[in-house]
A and B are shown apart, each in its own frame.
Chain A
Amino acid sequence: MESTRVITEMILEEAKKSAEGILQEAEKSAEDLLKKQKQRGAQKANEAAKILLKKAESEAELNKLNSVANSKIKTKWVVLSKKETWIDNVLKEAKNKLKIMTTTKEYLPILQKLITEAGVILGGKDLEVLLNPQDSALALKLDSIAKKITEKTGFETKLKLSKEKLEVIGGAVVRTANRKVIMDNTFKDIIRRREKELRSEIAKILF
């Protein structure tokens, strides 16, 4: 009877051990499966993440380079713009001084010189002089100017003051009698023609 009890207990004990083993193995397998899946998920994502980060790094670097290049341009522009403003101020002041000068005695010989230069460039002969209303009232020695032009060009020159008036601060426009050729020697046009040279000279002196 005792031996039967021992045998049956052994059977049950063995079954419990087997059951425990089965469960432990299942738990471990389940745990391994989830762990492996977690690793697989992270690994797969890492591949995508590497591409994503590489792209982000390139973009960030490119944006930074662009931004720095723009900054350099912007700062150069700040300085250049300041210089341009001062160059403009000088030209403006020069024009103001020219305007004031047209009301002084110094102006008449300058105007005569400008008319002479224009007349010589046109090659003399029959010429017409256009001035602003204020200069038209000046005591211009047109005959004397015509003589100078004749001397310089070798062609008999006659100058006539046109009734047409200019809207300029000073200087003169001289044209051939047939109006086909014009030489603009007004201050405005002299400045326009030589603007590049003038601005360059102003920049050299100012800065």
Chain B
Amino acid sequence: MLEAFKAIKEKHLEAKRIVEEATAQAEKLMNEAEKKALSVYEEAYKKTLSQAKQKATDLKIKATKEAEIELAKFLSNAEDQAKGVEAKAKKNFKKAVDSILNMILQ
């Protein structure tokens, strides 16, 4: 009978040690997680913000490219207009000179 109690007491102690070890390990896990939490927070913050910054840069680049395309269109249109101006001017040059001379001499 005494042997039985002794054996049960030993196993109780062993069981207590197992639970204590697990508790200690759990505390260690939680401590490590708490330590890691700040860097995880910062990492997530930086990552999201960095993505937003990239998106902002892309937006600006896109707007600049669109403006450049507009400029090219305007310039092409202006060149066409300038060619038209030149053609008309060449055609009416003599008439304009004569008219001006008349105005000056009248």
A positions within 8 Å CB-CB of B: 1, 3-4, 7-8, 11-12, 14-16, 18-20, 22-23, 25-27, 29-31, 33-34, 37-42, 44-46, 48-49, 52-53, 55-57, 59-61, 63-64, 67-68, 71-72, 74-76, 78-79, 82-83, 86, 89-91, 93-94, 97-98, 101, 110, 187, 190-191, 194, 197-198, 201-202, 205-207
In the complex, which residues 70-94 of chain B have their Cβ closer than 8 Å to any Cβ of chain A?
Answer: 70-71, 74-75, 77-79, 81-82, 85-86, 88-89, 92-93
Q: How far is the CA of A46 from the CA of B45 in the complex (A)?
A: 8
B93 near A49 (CB under 8 angstroms)? no
B56 near A30 (CB under 8 angstroms)? no
Q: How far is the CA of A172 from the CA of B14 in the complex (A)?
A: 130
- Nearest-CB distance from B71 to chain A (Å)? 4
Contact of B96 among A25, A40, A61, A202 (CB under 8 A): A202
Known: A42-B45, A63-B67, A83-B85. A23 touches B104 (CB 8 A): no
Question: Hey, which chain B residues are within 8 Å of A45, CB to CB?
Answer: 44-49, 52
Q: How far is the CA of A16 from the CA of B11 in the complex (A)?
A: 12
Known: A49-B51, A75-B75, A86-B85. A206 touches B56 (CB 8 A): no
Chain A residue with minimal CB distance to B25? A23
- Nearest-CB distance from A148 to chain B (Å)? 17
Q: Which of B12, B25, B56 counts the most A-chain CB atoms under 10 A from its CB?
A: B56
Known: A37-B37, A90-B97, A202-B96. A59 touches B48 (CB 8 A): no
A194 near B74 (CB under 8 angstroms)? no
B26 near A74 (CB under 8 angstroms)? no
Known: A52-B56, A90-B100, A94-B101. A15 touches B18 (CB 8 A): yes
Interface size counted on chain B using CB atoms at 8 A: 74
Q: Is the interface of B mostly helix, strand, loop or mixed?
A: helix
Chain B 9-21, CB-CB to A under 8 Å as 1, else 0, gives: 0111011101101
Contact of B75 among A25, A27, A71, A187 (CB under 8 A): A71
Q: Which of A46, A64, A197 counts the most B-chain CB atoms under 10 A from its CB?
A: A64
Q: How far is the CA of A78 from the CA of B45 in the complex (A)?
A: 50
Q: Is the interface of A mostly helix, strand, loop or mixed?
A: helix
- Nearest-CB distance from A94 to chain B (Å)? 5
- Nearest-CB distance from A74 to chain B (Å)? 7
A52 near B53 (CB under 8 angstroms)? yes
Question: Hey, which chain B residues are within 8 Å of A53, CB to CB?
Answer: 52, 55-56, 59
Q: How far is the CA of A61 from the CA of B62 in the complex (A)?
A: 10
23 contacts between A and B (CB under 8 A): A11-B15, A22-B23, A23-B26, A26-B27, A33-B30, A37-B44, A38-B44, A41-B40, A42-B45, A53-B55, A59-B60, A64-B64, A67-B71, A72-B74, A75-B77, A75-B78, A82-B82, A89-B89, A90-B97, A94-B101, A201-B103, A202-B100, A205-B99
